[in-house]
Structure 1
Amino acid sequence: MEHSSTSTPLTGAVRELATQVVSALTSGDHTQVSAGPAVTIGDDDLGLAAVRVLGADVLLPSVLHRTPPAPSDLAVCEKAVLAYPPGPTSSATSRWSHWAMTRTLRDLGAPPAEASPRDAEPDDATWLEGLPWQGLTHHLALLAALAVPGHDNAVGRVAGRRTVDVARGFVRAVRRRGWLQAAGAGRWLAVLDDVPETLGLDAGLEFVAHMGGEDPQVAIHLHVARHLRAGVPL
């Protein structure tokens, strides 16, 4: 489910949800035996739509800290994937975003109650292969929730074969002050091998944080990228 940058109730709900995720990521109050605080903002239509826009990153605190998610978060995420499945004409980005959510739910021990063929991993990511580096970066930034340690998928494999192009896209996004795209590209670069040392990724991430870090969605991507670059256990 893709969204516009225009200010709408949905935009506000996504920002509120992302802020909750950032708070959970940075609170440091995590144990491996108990669930963290809930991050979701409700299971009404607006709340479910916000979950679907933010995607698998709603459950990122549990994924990164290896802790059980709050039961209410699992329930809302399950409702969201059922309420907003990809349709026959949905973009590849939407299909991959949906799959990321269903995979995360499955990995956390709570697969959606009504499994569907649409929940399977999309066939491939060859559609990314032929994109120019600008388009590649755009789509990878939309799919940054797939950039988590230890998860292999076709999108990540394509990104791994085009690390230099992702690096070019990161620089372009920074120059154009596209902080969300820059943070998403930086998150991918943090999980990819063979990132050019001349890129200065760490300094670039700090600059993005300084200029765009007040956006909670930017902050989510930066949290993953900076901790991986620093070698901090997640």
Structure 2
Amino acid sequence: DALLKAITLRLEAELPPHTLLSRHGGDEFIAVMEKQDGTDNAKQFAQAIVDSFGTPFHLGNEDIYMSASIGIAAAPDHGNDSDKLISNADIAMYQAKKRGKNTYVIYQASENDQPAHRLKIRSQLNVALEQEQFELFFQPKIDLDTGSIKGAEALIRWKQEDGKYRNPFEFIPIAEENGQIIPISQWVIHQCCKHLKEWQTYLDSDFILALNISARHFHRGLLQEDLARSLGTFGIDPSTLELEVTETAIMDD
């Protein structure tokens, strides 16, 4: 209790006038201030609080060192009501703790409402599979001595109905979690073999194509069957299809 009182006094000393300061419960406090220049003023005072915690709290004959993890949410960008702002500031605070504490983090919309966001992407992935919204981009591998293209790496992209591409780092982990990565991976393998056959016919029979293999696909035991089917369909020499397995898949076993 004495420590909480001392922390309150220190917070009051750092925050600007007319700031509403309250104890939210446990060791959590909420400060409400007027937004002046975006979140710059909030960042300024958040850093001042973090710096002030570098000085120990003197309680009786003891010096107690504490750290401050601060989350910042600003209206209207991060919410229009107190519940939403507090919730989003709380999310940002836990991000600050994950970063090692004694710092502040401004809430980012991408961290908002993760369950609903992930559920939305999962639903959209089903539509993407049905409507074949995925595309493959190919990054060439060039022989620096001759300048000739010796192979390529396949990279999946998701072109949405509005014509914009969604970042693979956003949808691939979700597809991995719920198993949708299996049909996506099967589509990638089939398309890679189709393109590889064309390039080997018109360019070079030794043309090598690399593709990334999902850890989920790898562990399900379906990979060999799916590869054999596509390789056989297009008459591909298996040695010209290069599989890249993530470190995560290897570390699992």
Q: Which has the higher contact order (CA 8 A, sep 6+)?
A: 1
Which of the pair is proportionally richer in helix? 1
Which of the pair is proportionally richer in strand? 2
